[in-house]
Chain A
Amino acid sequence: MNRFPRALYLLCFALFASAALAQYQQAPSLEGQDLPAVEERLPETPLVLEPVEEIGSYGGTLRGAIRGPARAGDLFRDINYENLVRFAPDTSGITPNIAERFEANDNATEFTFYLRPGMKWSDGDDYTADDVVFVYEAILTNEELSPGGPGKTLTDSSGQTGTVEKVDDYTVTFTFAEPHGLFLTHMAEDDGNVYSRFPSHYLSQYHADYNSDNIDSLVSDAGASGWVELFENMGGLVGGWGQFPDMPTVTAWHLTVPFGDSTIVEYQRNPYYWKVDPEGNQLPYIDTVSYEVIPDNEVAVLRTSAGEIDMMIGKTTYNSINNKAVLFDNMETGNYRFVNQIKVGQANAVLSLNLTHDDPALREVFQNKDFRIALSHALDRDTVIETFYVGQAQPWQSAPREQSIFYNEQLAKQYTEYDVEEANSILDGIYPDKNSDGIRLGADGEPISFVLLVPAELRVEYPDIAQQVKDNWREVGVDVQVSIQDETLIQTRRESNEYDAYMGVGLGGIDVITRADMYVASNAPSIGSAWSNEWAKWFDSDGASGEEPPADIRASMDLYKQLLASGDQETQNELMKQILQNAADGFYQIGISIDNPDLDYGIASNDLRNVPDQLFNSWGFVMPGSTNPEQFFLTR
Chain B
Amino acid sequence: MLAYLIKRILWMIPTLIAISIMSFIIIQLPPGDYLTSLVASLAEEGSVDQSTLAGLEKRYGLNQPIYVQYWKWISGIILRGDFGQSFEWRRPVSELIWQRLGLTFVISLSTMLFIWLVSFPIGIYSAIRKYSVGDYIASFVGFIGLAIPNFLLALVLMYVSFKYFGQSVGGLFSPEFRNAAWSFAKVRDLIQHLWVPIVVIGTAGTAGLIRIMRANLLDELNKPYVLTARAKGLPETRMLLKYPVRLALNPFVSRVGWELPELVSGAAITAIVLSLPTTGPLLLNALISQDMYLAGSFILMLSVLTVIGTLLSDILLAWLDPRIRYR
Contact = CB atoms under 8 A, between A and B. Distances in A.
Interface of A: 63, 68-70, 73, 145-152, 189-191, 223, 228-229, 232-233, 236-240, 243, 257, 259-264, 266, 290, 292-296, 298-299, 302-303, 305-306, 308, 458, 486-492, 505, 507, 523, 526-527, 619-620
B90 A491 contact: no
Given A63-B175, A259-B89, A488-B32, A299 B51 contact: no
B179 A257 contact: yes
Nearest to B59: A228
Contact of B44 (A190, A223, A458): A458
Nearest to B45: A619
Contacts of B56: 148, 237-238
Interface in B214-259: none
Contacts of A491: 32, 36, 39-40, 43
Contacts of B88: 68-70
Nearest to A315: B45
A68 B32 CA distance: 21
A384 to B, nearest CB: 20
Interface stretch (B134-142, B164-172, B202-210, B296-304): B164-172
Contacts of A149: 50-51, 54-55
Given A236-B90, A299-B274, A487 B52 contact: no
B53 A148 contact: yes
A619 B171 CA distance: 29
B273 A296 contact: yes
Given A70-B88, A232-B59, A262-B277, 10 more contacts: A146-B52, A147-B55, A152-B49, A236-B90, A260-B89, A266-B179, A299-B169, A306-B168, A486-B31, A490-B40
B94 to A, nearest CB: 11
A157 to B, nearest CB: 16
B46 interface: yes
Interface string B275-309: 10100010001001110000000000000000000
Please name the 4 residue pairs, one residue from A and one from B, whose CB atoms are nearest each other, closest first: A148-B54, A149-B51, A148-B51, A619-B45
Contacts of B172: 263
A189 B89 CA distance: 24
Nearest to B88: A69
Nearest to B40: A487
Interface in B260-281: 272-275, 277, 281
A619 B43 CA distance: 11
B131 interface: no
A70 B41 contact: yes
Interface in B6-30: 30
Interface in B137-190: 155, 158-159, 162, 166, 168-173, 175, 178-179
B42 interface: yes
A262 B275 contact: no
B273 A299 contact: yes
A264 B41 CA distance: 22
Contacts of B85: 229
Contacts of A232: 59, 90
A636 to B, nearest CB: 14
26 contacts: A146-B51, A147-B55, A147-B59, A189-B46, A223-B82, A236-B90, A237-B52, A238-B56, A260-B89, A260-B95, A263-B173, A263-B277, A290-B175, A294-B171, A295-B281, A296-B272, A299-B273, A299-B274, A302-B170, A303-B168, A308-B175, A489-B30, A489-B31, A492-B36, A527-B43, A619-B44
